[in-house]
Amino acid sequence: MTEEAPKKLVELRDLQLYFNQGKANEVRAIDHVSFDIYEGEIFGLVGESGSGKTTIGRTILKIYEQTAGDILFQGKDVTHLKGKQLAEFRKDAQMIFQDPQASLNGRMKVRDIIAEGIDVNKLASSKAERDQKVQELLDLVGLNKDHATRYPHEFSGGQRQRIGIARALAVDPKFIIADEPISALDVSIQAQVVNLMKELQKKHSLTYLFIAHDLSMVKYISDRIGVMHWGKLLEIGSADAVYNHPLHPYTKSLLSAIPVPDPEVEKARQHLEYDTSIETDGKTREMIEVNPGHFVLATPEEAAQYQAQQV
Amino acid sequence: MSNPILKVENLHVNFNTYAGTVQAIRDVSFDLNKGETLAIVGESGSGKSVTTKTLMGLNAKNASIPDNSRLLFKDRNLLDLTEEEWQSVRGNEIAMIFQDPMTSLDPTMKIGMQIAEPLMKHREMKKEDALARALELMQGVGIPNAEEHINDYPHQWSGGMRQRAVVAIALAADPEILIADEPTTALDVTIQAQILTLMKKLQRETSSSIIFITHDLGVVAGMADRVAVMYAGKIVEYGTVDEIFFNPQHPYTWGLLNSMPTTDTAVGTLEAIPGTPPDLLEPPKGDAFAPRNAFALAIDSKEEPPFFKVSDTHYAATWLLDERAPKVTPPAQIQKRWARWQEIQGQEA
Amino acid sequence: MAANTEDFVIVGAQSSDANEHISKPALSFWQDAWRRLKLNKLAVISMWFLIFILAFAVVSNIFVPQKAANAFNSDKVGVYKNLPPNSGLPIPGWDGKIKAPGDTTVTDVYASQGVPDGERFILGTDNIGRSVAKRVIVGLRISLLVAIVATLIDLVIGVAYGVFSGWKGGWVDNVMQRIIEILSSIPNLIIVTMLGLLLGSGILSIILAIAMTGWLSMARQVRNMTLSLKERDYVLAAKTLGESSSKIAVKHLIPNMAGTIIVQIMMTVPSAIMFEAVLSAINLGVKPPTASLGSLISDAQAMLQFYPYQVLIPSAMLVLISLAFILLGDGLRDAFDPRASED
Ligand SMILES: Nc1ncnc2c1ncn2[C@@H]1O[C@H](COP(=O)(O)OP(=O)(O)OP(=O)(O)O)[C@@H](O)[C@H]1O
Ligand SMILES: Nc1ncnc2c1ncn2[C@@H]1O[C@H](COP(=O)(O)OP(=O)(O)OP(=O)(O)O)[C@@H](O)[C@H]1O
Ligand SMILES: [Mg+2]
Ligand SMILES: [Mg+2]
């Protein structure tokens, strides 16, 4: 799926973000994380609750300010963007949220929610054009035109999530961060939203950062996957490599926890417990390329071990 | 194996709202056998929670239940109980684990006390004895160093630990029926795996019956003995876990199974169920799933399908099982499952 | 089963249009709140009562000017003073008869003081012969003026201060909260006394006193709401779309705390009215001859034993208005908070 010489859209370089820095309750939400997201790909980021996935997404979008490290978007450092350039960046990078209930303002009509980006960036010159655009966006996500005048609470979870997607697409972004866009939805609706996101990605040549704690959907949608734990990136590689040939014990544990809709498989499935001591022993570890494009956070000895364990 | 401890017959639940009557449960009947886990699956809004709340006598004020609905438990109809009688059933003979561990624990009360309380109330234990039992239960649900944590408050615990405490509270009075309404939906997969393992282990030890509500078929496959699939306030298919997963008959069940990635799902084969569930203010005539069903028959919009028998334990309410219906080819993934069913049947024979 | 074979053909799924249809009537937040408010009879009655009182106070400017209520004929004080309420109908207690001080029997005061025939005072007169009805109407206007000013200040200063403080957060919030704490630790009476010394007592001092302290609890509440709302995903979404802070406040923050704001106003208003009454009662309020409900009560209280109506009528007015605000506020709180009523 990776093309020849893919262009980097987003680059994280040794990113760090500490909440309450220097205080007793300091949290290292992002701890020396580096990775690239290529143009046109879906990059999946997984990890358990509290591992720092949301924080990474929000830091890229400049909602949080990093403690150290750089974020590059299309080759340019976005850390100190201001004014017009910031506005441009805001248009290019958008977000889809986890909780479809909380991400829509209940006091606004669906039309005005979707048109918010159009209004801010003055993308429509008249009311008719604005309505026209909203109409197209509703169409795009499979909603009806009479939904434009309704309020969010009248919709089901899946429909609300589609409204959120329409809002993000209104400014015609290049890059979308989807922060657990399906965790709050039913399984059957999850497929609906995931398929819609895939379809839109092709149609609008979008790049996604897709955040989730469940590897099975991530594997299905992503080209490459990064695995996080306690603010560190532990493993990164193609979706197939991470899912089918995991290297890091944490990834293995995470994979073993996924329930599979097959009673026979379930009877045999054994959840592997993860021994966190390998993260707290104080040794320095680096991202080591064990297989082409497949990196793991390890000491050189561990890397050799991981390599040897592969079948 | 039919030894029902609970029989639900013709359950209807209506909610009166300003916009009209919401028919949330429309004629649901099922049995729960002793020692089994019955999973109820279905989309959001299909009525899973309303069913369980009715079983706990906890429905909202605006609910109304017609007289012919019956919940038979130990030779009495639970729907006839007064609030006082309910209090001796709830948390004692029937206990519940809620979805959100945050809201089902009292933030101002020590966790040990919260576990001990049902024991003092229903078993008339003395405080010391109840607390001693609470400690055992905390150890039982795998809280490390339980004696150090018995005086903790909920906010001092992580989500996974809290849900363990909720499980411990539900199990305290050794209930005959345990209702778990999406007990792991709010948790991430790692913690979900721990809680599910825990519930299975505890059930083996206590042989209580569990009603397990979820929309995650993966969880169902691992937990359930029998499965009931709900759609728009009705059960549309029920059977043993193998029957539902390997020989599904209702197109809605097909849709649910199809929309989940499995280990061998190739990229691009995830099939979503289009559209949204019907509005229960105006439930559609006939088969409620018809508008979203690629295999809908003309009769589906006119007449409601009855339950067709697939086996002694397996029934499905779809006109596709009528002898006059055309033979349809289910989606590829379902065909694979059917093939597996043939194998399993072959092995057994 | 009457079905025939053509019923058993595959027709497939319906179009998405039919599928995604919502049959509930579209209800906005306000319509929904209004619907729930209507279920609360007491709140609705209170609301109509307040609307009526407000309209009456405005219209009354035409037929009861302030001057008319203050004026009295110094030559005829003896004739008109302390007349009891007289409806003209033989209703006991409202027929112009009263037990005069020291008497044991009821006398027709109108006749004994020589009031010309046909002249009646529906709510009686005070001790210098001014119509209590007129004075209550003027007092009502003052009280409502105080209420309106309190509301405006609450809305303008309280909301703006709260939103700004909560939105900025950090040290700005810290400083602004300390200021609130300092202001609210100064007793109101001290502020009024100081203002009274500076500006002389009167309506202006009262309004300034309310302006200085009345918005504090609103500001605190709004700030707390802002702190929680600003973390909401829709606010983050607006941020990532590039919306400016002031737009976010107007479009997302304030509409979502409208319920809290309105309920808070419903609590501020009666306390402002009461505050004015108390001030007037201790002679820090309106200057005579201007009447306010508070000054009417305090002026008449010396004679409470003999002419109870002079105290009771303005008091009843005060209590009714405050009660109506409180009941309406209660109803609004439930109407804005769907969890409280479960349908
Ligand atoms: N504003 C904040 N102040 C302090 N700590 C924070 C803040 N936001 C997040 N954290 C902490 O940072 C860590 C990472 O949080 P984050 O929300 O990024 O995790 P996540 O991987 O998105 O988890 P989830 O799956 O629960 O969404 C957590 O320990 C969290 O408690
Ligand atoms: N108090 C109530 N008043 C009106 N309608 C209600 C009430 N409680 C539930 N309903 C409706 O009953 C239907 C079934 O709701 P229920 O909560 O049982 O769904 P569920 O299957 O548990 O869904 P989820 O997966 O979202 O928990 C829904 O359409 C819901 O809107
Ligand atoms: Mg997160
Ligand atoms: Mg539910």
Give per-residue pLDDT as tens, C29-63. Answer: 778 788 888 888 999 999 999 999 888 888 887 87
**CA dihedral of B287, B292, B295, B297, whole degrees rounded to 10:** 40
Q: Is B320 in contact with B295 (CB distance < 8 Å)? A: yes
Q: Work out the pLDDT band at B265, boundaries 50, 70, 90.
A: low
Q: In what order do the strands lie in the sheet with A93-96?
A: A93-96, A175-179, A207-212, A42-47, A224-229, A232-238, A294-298, A286-291
- Work out the number of other CB atoms within 10 angstroms of the CB of residue B118: 23
- Alpha helices (H) in chain A, listed in sequence order: 53-60, 83-92, 110-120, 127-140, 157-169, 187-204, 215-221, 239-244, 249-256, 263-268, 277-280, 300-309
- Assigned domain for B342 exists: yes
Tokens describing residue B137: 């239960």
Q: Does the pLDDT value for residue C343 go beyond 60?
A: no
Judged by CB atoms closer than 8 Å, whether chains meet at A105 and C240 is answered as no
> What percent of chain C is predicted at pLDDT more than 90?
16
Sign of the dihedral through C-alpha A62, A254, A18, C231? positive
Report pLDDT digits (tens) over A83-104. 888 888 988 999 999 888 889 9
Alpha-carbon span B154 to B163, nearest angstrom: 10
pLDDT of residue A35: 94
Alpha-carbon span B88 to A13, nearest angstrom: 61
pLDDT of residue C69: 67
- Map tokens 């997302």 to a residue: C252
Name the more confident of A146 and B96: B96
Report pLDDT digits (tens) over B304-334. 999 999 999 999 999 999 998 898 999 888 9
C305 alpha-carbon distance from chain centroid: 30
Sorted by sequence, the CB contacts under 8 Å of residue C79 that are 6+ apart come out as C113, C114, C115, C129
Q: Does the pLDDT value for residue A112 go beyond 70?
A: yes
Alpha-carbon span C258 to B161, nearest angstrom: 38
Domain range summary for chain A, segments of one domain joined by +: 8-310
Q: How far lies A65's CA from each of A18, A81, C166, in Å?
A: 10, 12, 19
Nearest to A102 among C28, C232, C238 (CB): C232
Whether residue B252 is found in the same domain as residue B197: no
Q: Is C222 in contact with C257 (CB distance < 8 Å)? A: yes
Q: Work out the pLDDT band at B264, boundaries 50, 70, 90.
A: low
Average pLDDT over residues A125-132: 92
Measured between its terminal Cα atoms, the distance across chain B in Å is: 20
Judged by CB atoms closer than 8 Å, whether chains meet at C1 and B328 is answered as no
- Candidates B273, B301, B324: best to mutate against C (most CBs of C within 10 A) is B324
pLDDT of residue C1: 46
B182 to chain A, any CB pair closer than 8 A? The answer is no
A102 → chain C, closest CA residue? C233
Q: Is A245 in contact with A235 (CB distance < 8 Å)? A: no
Q: Is B44 in contact with B305 (CB distance < 8 Å)? A: no
Closest-CA residue to A242 (of A259, A222, A261, A257): A222
Report pLDDT digits (tens) over B23-35. 999 999 999 999 9
pLDDT of residue B210: 94
| Nearest listed ligand to the Cα of residue A63 | 1
Q: Which atom of ligand 2 is nearest to the CA of B46?
A: 21
- Work out the number of other CB atoms within 10 angstroms of the CB of residue B223: 25
Alpha-carbon span A6 to C170, nearest angstrom: 42
Q: How far lies A3's CA from each of A7, A237, B35, in Å?
A: 9, 15, 55
Q: Of the residues B23, B48, B215, B231, which should be mutated to test ligand 2's pocket, given the most ligand atoms within 8 Å of the CB?
A: B48
Tokens describing residue C252: 């997302």
* C-beta B158 within 6 A of ligand 2: no
Q: Is B274 in contact with C20 (CB distance < 8 Å)? A: no
Average pLDDT in chain C: 80
Question: Count of domains in chain B?
Answer: 2
- Evaluate the omega torsion of the peptide bond into residue C289 and state whether it is cis, within 30 degrees of 0: yes
SS3 A201: helix
Topology of domain A8-310, per CATH? Answer: Rossmann fold (3.40.50)
Whether residue B95 is found in the same domain as residue B206: yes
pLDDT of residue C4: 65
Residue B277 half-sphere exposure toward CB, CA atoms < 13 A: 23
- Assigned domain for B106 exists: yes
| R_g of chain A computed on alpha carbons | 20
Q: What DSSP designation does B34 have? A: T
- Map tokens 């078929």 to a residue: B217
pLDDT of residue C340: 44
Q: What are the start-end ranges of the E strands in chain C?
A: 97-99, 106-108
Tokens describing residue A306: 């991981």
Q: Is B191 in contact with B201 (CB distance < 8 Å)? A: no
Q: Work out the pLDDT band at C271, boundaries 50, 70, 90.
A: confident
Average pLDDT over residues A111-135: 92
3-state helix, strand, coil in chain B (%, to 5): 40, 25, 40
Q: What DSSP designation does B306 have? A: -
Name the more confident of B268 and C254: C254
Whether residue B156 is found in the same domain as residue B52: yes
Judged by CB atoms closer than 8 Å, whether chains meet at A147 and C258 is answered as no
3-state helix, strand, coil in chain C (%, to 5): 65, 5, 30
pLDDT of residue B320: 93
Name the more confident of C103 and A55: A55
Written as one letter, the residue type at C71 is A
Q: Does the pLDDT value for residue A31 go beyond 80?
A: yes
Q: Is B185 in contact with A226 (CB distance < 8 Å)? A: no
Report pLDDT digits (tens) over B276-289. 888 888 888 889 99
Tokens describing residue C206: 């009262």
Q: What DSSP designation does C99 have? A: E
Q: Which of A6-20, A34-48, A296-310, C56-70 has the lowest mean pLDDT?
A: C56-70
Report pLDDT digits (tens) over B291-311. 889 899 999 888 999 999 999
Q: How far lies B5's CA from each of B8, B39, B73, in Å?
A: 10, 16, 6
Q: Is C232 in contact with C208 (CB distance < 8 Å)? A: no
Q: Of the residues A18, A25, A54, which should be mutated to test ligand 1's pocket, given the most ligand atoms within 8 Å of the CB?
A: A54
Which residues of chain C have a CB within 8 Å of the CB of B303?
1, 3, 7
Name the more confident of A80 and B338: B338
Measured between its terminal Cα atoms, the distance across chain A in Å is: 23
> What percent of chain A is predicted at pLDDT more than 90?
46
pLDDT of residue C17: 63
Sorted by sequence, the CB contacts under 8 Å of residue B318 that are 6+ apart come out as B236, B237, B249, B250, B251, B287, B305, B308
Residue B69 half-sphere exposure toward CB, CA atoms < 13 A: 17
Per residue in C262-273, is it b (16+ CB within 10 Å) or e — as a string?
Answer: bbbbbbbbbbbb
Q: Does the pLDDT value for residue A212 go beyond 80?
A: yes
- CATH number of the domain at B115, please: 3.40.50.300
Q: Work out the pLDDT band at C342, boundaries 50, 70, 90.
A: very low
pLDDT of residue C96: 66
Among B224, B257, B280, give the residue marking a domain's end.
Answer: B224
Tokens describing residue B325: 């219906």
Tokens describing residue C64: 């009861």
Whether residue B161 is found in the same domain as residue B300: no
Distance from residue C239's CA to the centre of ligand 3 (Å): 18
Average pLDDT over residues A241-263: 91
Average pLDDT over residues B44-58: 89
- Assigned domain for B179 exists: yes
Name the more confident of C329 and C129: C329
Q: Work out the pLDDT band at C87, boundaries 50, 70, 90.
A: low
Whether residue B148 is found in the same domain as residue B207: yes
Q: Work out the pLDDT band at C166, boundaries 50, 70, 90.
A: very high
SS3 A98: coil
Q: Whose CA is nearest to atom 30 of ligand 2?
A: B45
Give me the interface pTM, i.e. the ipTM.
Answer: 0.85
- Work out the number of other CB atoms within 10 angstroms of the CB of residue A261: 25
Q: Does the pLDDT value for residue C259 go beyond 50?
A: yes
A263 alpha-carbon distance from chain centroid: 31
Average pLDDT over residues B148-162: 83
* C-beta B229 within 6 A of ligand 2: no
DSSP string, C183-239: HHHS-HHHHHHHHHHHH-SSHHHHHHHHHHHTTHHHHHHHHHHHHHHTTSHHHHHHH
Average pLDDT in chain A: 89
pLDDT of residue C192: 77
pLDDT of residue C100: 65
Tokens describing residue B43: 């989309």
Q: Does the pLDDT value for residue C77 go beyond 90?
A: no
Alpha-carbon span C215 to A1, nearest angstrom: 61
Q: Whose CA is nearest to atom 14 of ligand 2?
A: B47
- Alpha helices (H) in C25-87, listed in sequence order: 29-38, 41-63, 66-70, 77-80
Report pLDDT digits (tens) over A265-285. 888 888 888 888 888 888 889
- Assigned domain for B71 exists: yes
Cα–Cα–Cα angle for A262, A267, A272, rounded to 5 degrees: 105
Question: Residue A296 belongs to what H/E stretch?
Answer: strand A294-298
| R_g of chain C computed on alpha carbons | 28
Q: Work out the pLDDT band at B2, boundaries 50, 70, 90.
A: low
Q: Does the pLDDT value for residue B268 go beyond 60?
A: no
Q: Work out the pLDDT band at B11, boundaries 50, 70, 90.
A: very high
Q: Does the pLDDT value for residue B341 go beyond 70?
A: yes
Whether residue B270 is found in the same domain as residue B186: no
3-state helix, strand, coil in chain A (%, to 5): 40, 25, 35
**Domains of chain C as residue ranges with CATH:** 37-63+131-341 (1.10.3720.10), 77-129 (no CATH)
Alpha-carbon span B104 to B75, nearest angstrom: 30
Name the more confident of B161 and C308: B161
Closest-CA residue to C296 (of C284, C309, C314): C314
Domain containing B258 equals 247-348
Q: Which of residues 45-64 of A touch C (CB under 8 A)?
A: 58, 61, 63
Per residue, what are the HEC states of B58-75?
CCCCCEECCCCCEEEECC
Report pLDDT digits (tens) over B213-251. 998 888 999 999 999 999 999 999 999 999 999 999 999
Written as one letter, the residue type at C274 is M
